[in-house]
Structure 1
Amino acid sequence: MALCSNYATPFMKQCFVTFGVTLKMAGHGAAVGFTAVLLPQLRKSNSAINIDDSTGSWIASILSFAFIIGNFTSSILMGIYGRKIANLVSIVPMIIGWVCIVFATNMPFLLTARVLQGLSIGMGVTLGPVLISEYSSPKYRGAFLMSISVKIAIGVLTVHTLGSYLKWQTTAVIYAVITVVDFIIVACSPESPSWLADHGKYEESKRVFRWLRGSDEECELERMIEASKAVRESRSSNKLNRSLQSKMEEYFTNFFKILRKKEFYKPIFIMAHVYTISQWGGVNLFAAYAVDVFNNIIGDDFDIPLLIISVDAQRIISNALAVYIITKIRRRTLLSTTVGIGIFAFLSIATYSYLREMKIFNNSIVAIILIHIHMFSIAAGTLPFCYIISGELFPLEYRSFASAISVIFHSMNFFIMVKTVPFLFNTIGLHGTYCVYAGIIAYCLVVLFIFLPETKDRTLQEIEEEFKGLSGGLGVSRGKADESTSFI
């Protein structure tokens, strides 16, 4: 905090603290996208580490095994020791992972490095959206959360570009340095005011909140403090004059009560489907298997590395456009539009791929256009949407735990999707695989159409109160209430 001038505006301060979070997410994108340049280099005959399709899929998908460990580790750390400490701890495995990759000479060493990276990603997926949502004002929150996907896209583009022209060890060195810089930025950022309030540090919470937000959002600060005090008083009264046995009985009783609370299970149910869309929407096809995908759709008629870079660049442009769009339109409108485009792209590419395989129609320009349409749907909606919603839905009291549970669906979908790509391509072809993906995200869209509330321009407290069924959660006007039941 001391590094930021007293003359900096609240917006500039929010940009600084969220940059530390999103730069880490860029490293996550680089770690996932690294396989797209690593695997082709390892397949060469002169490679020190020899791989086949099976070992290659493990290199790409083993990240997900560490997701769950990192996910729950992060939820414990961010709940007990604070968001900042958890954020710092989450960066360390990524640094070690990149260093291990630099010196990897065999498959076990390389897989260990990937597990460390997966541990870091698992921690960040839970922590990043929560921390950004607690740092930022409602009017900027959507854009800041959307910037997560922009940074991930930048990470993927950078690693694909570097890996196309440099050895994979050199690329790993560059990202190790970037990750160290991110650690320094996070170390200079303050603790979350929401966490401080939840742990009874009200004066410090007020100081940090006003440092971040200025003096124009006192109403949200007061509501946050009042809600935190009520929760802490309830906890304190339950802890008095209890034996160990009664405390354990009460713990399990309360645990099952929590599972039945609407403000707990509804956001988890919603996020399970949001994460399914984000993973099966195609982002990891382009990140981890870009060469294989383009070879299946287009063949070797084009410069594949250049085509990959162009798609990655378009992803960044679409992400940046979405940062602006999300400040103007409703969350549900964004979801329905971009997922609809994604379904169209999947089915169109599947049709083109089948016609090309049957030697009925073959036009590479058409294929490239369809690929770019598909990437637009991912970059402008299906991927960034999961980071926006995951930062807005969960109530403060259960934010760490509920986020951790929901991210299990993220890691499961990531593993299944990435691990099965070679198998599906070899059995039902790209056209069959894309039809399966289209069906999965279409199902999720229907579910979210029914259950997802509108969250744009609403405070986290208002969203929480709506899940609880309180009238205050409907916003300050009837117009906001209406948004939660309509896409348009």
Structure 2
Amino acid sequence: MKICSRRTRWQLLSTMILCIMSLTHGISLGWFSPTLPTLISDNSPIGHPIDISEVKWYFSIVNLGVNLTCIIEISRIGAAFGIGCLICNMVICVPVSYIGIKKCMYFVPLPNILNWILIYFASKSLYFYVCRVLLGFSGGTLVVCFPVFIAEVSDNSVRGTLGSFFMMTLCSGITVGFVLVYCLSYHVLPCVVVFLPILYLCLIIPLPEPPQDLLKRGYEEKAEKSFCFYKNLSKDPAQQAENKAEFDILRNKVLASGITEKITSADFFNKVSGKAFGLIAVLLLSNQMSGSFAIFNYSSTIFEQLGSRMEPNLCGIFLGVVQIFGLISAVLLVDRVGRRLLLIPSLAGMGLAELGVGLLKSFASQDFLHNNGWIALTLMGIVSFTASAGIVALTFVIIVELLPFKIRAPGISISMCGLSLSVFIALITYPVLINDYGVHVTMFVSASFCLLGLIVLGIFLPETRGKSITQ
């Protein structure tokens, strides 16, 4: 396998170091749901039950979104999570341009460490809101910096695979966080998990900055050393001329892209950038409104309406495990079959499965649903697998590869703001759809967005497998 070759050894190792932090972030997001029943009970580990009216605001601002009702009800701390994440999304490109992407990555674990410390010492609901704010800052920086770093240090032949590792570990972390709650007590869990961001911080220190990032800031000698490190090029004097020639090819491409010049509005408002941002907008809308995130967030309610006799937490674990297998499939296939051949069938399979769930709920009797729960479980499993093998795993990879090299950092910041907005829309519309109109309408709406992505991306999305990151 190319990913295990001598040349890509340090690329793989560097990605695995970053994945420690993405796994930790996933655990930080996933631990709360199964912990909630304990926190609101008389045996709450913080000494008293949390008010359920306060908890629902915390729970509704999962991941990159912020619940509209929180703002309406003036839940300032709940809204601060989304605001903090959006601020990081928008401004992180500034320090990335001036101090480099790696230095910005030092910031990622610090809010996460504080998050676990506060969880350990929590004595009231306010602590959990502050934790969510901290995770907003950490996650907002992580989703901008990590995909760019991985793309810039990777060979063209393994860039998709290594980029997919990021989402695989992030989503796996959510499932791991769910499971760890049942294995470790409330106060032991933070003591164990807090070592992961500390480990990441220690391991990332020796890694060089990406060569493209160094060239952008005028450090050609350091850039050449970084290039040789990540390509694991031989230090044999006889190979130096060949190594130099390979680096010069990269240097010339980077400098020809205009990356050392000042970014102007013309760099954003042109045909190439306009097409890239248009495709990214459809990609992000398809990612969230197809239900790839919101459906899993409300899986227990969906399974209940479908007459499932399985425990809600077991349903969540089942979908989480299926999701991991889908992500593993993406890692194994993305650089073999290409982005399009994973993404397009993913949207088609997801849409058909959601259509099947909608038709099942519309025409099957309650007795039939109750006695044949495996049908709904299978269809939801297909939704989970196909979403994870395509739209979930590849979104960040495709965004990085679509954006012109010169505006990649600010472009990703803008894209992540778009992701925050699409999550926001999904989280405020799906509860209304499920509770007021039913699961069948929810699934039909989700399938329609899969169809939208299938048509637009199927026609206009270029294949970026094997292309240089500077193209």
TM-score normalised according to structure 1 size? 0.82
Decide which of 46, 69, 83 is 2:87's aligned counterpart.
69
1:275-321 deviation per Cα after TM superposition (whole angstroms, max 9, x unaligned): 2222234342365444334333344x224433432332222222112
Kept after mapping to 1: 8 A contact 2:10/2:232: no
Deviations 1:70-111 (A, max 9, x none): 212322222211111111112211222232233333333211
> Percent identity at matched positions?
23
Greater alpha carbon shift after TM alignment, 45-54 vs 91-100? 45-54
Query: Matched residues in 1 for 2:313 and 2:134: separation?
Result: 28
Q: What is aligned with 2:236?
A: none
* Structure 1 position 66, deviation (Å): 2.6
Alignment partner of 1:407: what SS?
helix
CA contact (8 A) 1:32 1:288 kept: no
Which residue is equivalent to 2:410? 401
Matched, 1:340 2:323: no
Are residue 16 (structure 1) and residue 13 (structure 2) matched? yes
Are 2:89 and 2:413, in contact at CA under 8 Å, matched by a contact in 1?
yes
The answer to whether 1:33 aligns with 2:35 is: no
Whether the aligned pair in 1 keeps the contact of 2:34 and 2:178 (CA below 8 Å) is yes
Query: What runs of 5+ residues in structure 1 fail to find an aligned partner?
Result: 1-7, 236-250, 465-488
Offset of 1:46 from its aligned partner?
5.0
Residues 353-406 of structure 1, C-alpha deviations (whole Å, 9 max, x = no match) = 334565554411112211211111122111011021123222232111111111
How far off is 1:59 after superposition?
A: 4.2
| Residue of 386, 394, 399 corresponding to 2:395 | 386
Report if the CA contact (8 A) 1:42-1:50 is conserved.
no
1:426 is aligned to 2:458: no
Q: 2:285 aligns with which of 276, 289, 292?
A: 276
> Which letter does structure 2 place at the counterpart of 1:347?
L
Q: 1:231 to 1:450 in 2, by over 3 A?
A: closer
Q: Contact 1:59–1:111 at 8 Å: present in 2 too? A: no
CA deviation vs aligned residue, 1:196-226 (integer Å, no higher than 9, x gap): 0111111111111111114488666323312
Q: CA deviation at 1:151?
A: 0.6
Q: Is the 8 A contact 1:14 1:212 kept in 2?
A: yes
Instruction: Please give the alpha-carbon distance, in whole angstroms, between the structure 1 residues aligned to 2:447 and 2:12.
Output: 36
Equivalence map 1:327-366=2 (5 Å): 327-355=335-363, 358-359=366-367, 361-362=369-370, 363-366=372-375
Deviates more, 1:211-220 or 1:175-184: 211-220
Distance 1:40 1:413 in 2: 29
Number of the residue aligned with 1:467: none
Among 228, 238, 255, the alignment partner of 2:264 is 255
In structure 2, the partner of 1:203 is 221
- Post-superposition Cα deviations, 1:306-347, rounded to whole Å, max 9, x if no partner, equal 343233222222211221111221211211101111101211
Residue 155 of structure 2 is matched in structure 1 by 137
Q: Cα distance, 1:28 vs. partner?
A: 2.9
In structure 2, C-alpha distance between the alignment counterparts of 1:353 and 1:164, rounded to whole Å: 32
Cα distance, 1:106–1:442 mapped onto 2, change above 3 Å? farther
- 1:345 and 1:373 in contact (8 A); partners too: yes
Decide whether the 8 Å contact of 1:57 with 1:422 is kept in 2.
Answer: no
- Measured after TM superposition, the shift of residue 27 of structure 1 is 2.4
Deviates more, 1:98-107 or 1:380-389: 98-107
Aligned to 1:109: 127
In structure 2, how many angstroms separate the alpha carbons of the residues matched to 1:396 and 1:385? 19
CA distance in 2, matches of 1:187, 1:232: 29
CA distance in 2, matches of 1:218, 1:393: 28
Q: Return the offset for 1:142.
A: 1.1
Q: Structure 1 residues 50 and 219, CA, compared in 2 at 3 Å: closer, same or farther?
A: farther
- Aligned equivalents of 1:341 and 1:45: distance in 2? 45
**Aligned-partner Cα distance in 2 for 1:302–1:217:** 59
Residues 6-39 of structure 1: CA distance to partner in whole angstroms, max 9, x if unpaired?
Answer: xx93322111111122222222322333343244
**Where does the alignment leave 5 or more consecutive residues of structure 2 unmatched?**
67-80, 234-241
C-alpha contact (below 8 Å) 2:259/2:406 kept by paired residues: no
Return closer, same or farther for 1:257/1:314 CA change in 2, 3 Å cut-off: same
1:224 matched to 2:250? The reply is yes
1:162 aligns with 2:180: yes
2: CA distance, partners of 1:396 / 1:233:
7
Q: Distance in 1 between matches of 2:252 and 2:401?
A: 19
SS in structure 2 of the partner of residue 391 of structure 1: helix
Question: What letter is aligned with 1:28?
Answer: H
Shift of 1:115: 1.5
**Structure 1 residue aligned with 2:202:** 184
Q: Paired residue for 2:455?
A: 446
Measure the CA separation in 1 of the matches of 2:245 and 2:329: 31
Mean Cα deviation higher: 441-450 or 80-89: 441-450
Structure-2 separation of matches of 1:297 and 1:34: 26
> Is 1:92 equivalent to 2:123 in the alignment?
no
196-205 or 170-179, which moves further after superposition?
A: 170-179
Q: Aligned in 2, Cα 1:57/1:77: closer, same or farther, shift over 3 Å?
A: same
Distance 1:168 1:287, change over 3 A: farther
CA contact (8 A) 1:83 1:195 kept: yes
Deviation of 1:232 after TM superposition, in Å, equals: 6.5
CA 381–220 in structure 1, closer or farther in 2 if over 3 Å, else same: farther
